Structure 1
Amino acid sequence: MMNKIEIYDPAMCCSTGVCGPSVDPELTRLASAVYSLEKKGFDIKRFNLANEPAAFVENALVNQALVDKGPEALPMVLLNGEIVRVASYPTNDEFAQWFGITPEQLQEKPKVKQSIKFSI
């Protein structure tokens, strides 16, 4: 059976951490790891409190943790429906262990097309 990971993010304007005044390297690392895992067909999902509040209410464990601890409980990570991390993101080593791959396989970067304009 393939492991299933659900990541419940605090309210953010974007999942990569590059939308604010300073880039959060932890969010950039996480976005890269999640992207790599998705590309490999692994079951991993992220929910942002700002955009998908229903996901936080519908999951009884997540909802209860938020009632008990408040927004400080986020980010929260579930592995096969069980809470495995509260108030922090998994490391690449943890992702690798959960999915049976090497941490190096989580380094894929999303391919962004750059347009270059020349002026004469």
Structure 2
Amino acid sequence: MAFAAGRITGSQEGRRWVQYDGREWTQFLPREKQAYVAGFLAGGALADAQAAGAADSTAVHQAVDSLVRSGRLRFPFGHMVYVTQLDEFYWWQNHLPVPLYAALRDIDGSLKGHEQ
């Protein structure tokens, strides 16, 4: 457990999340990749719910459920779809400098059948 805590602390002292790119992605363990993408998707779902007018916790929960059921989330695919696509994207060395959030946006556009 101390190793895991030290690992987290070490990464927190590094670059900010907005600077994360393929260099971080290729160093993440599989569970870290899954956690990163799940957090990204949760943040996106929260933003979608708030954009739909949800203000309190109950309304956010109901809005997210509704968005999921209707297929209207901005990032509608499962987290493992995005994890796999990011692994493939960052396999290319010239993609390593692309920020993770930008790669996820572009991947989502490709999955939906249009380029972002």
TM-score (norm 1): 0.29
Structure (1/2) with the larger strand percentage: 1
Provide TM-score, normalisation by structure 2.
0.29
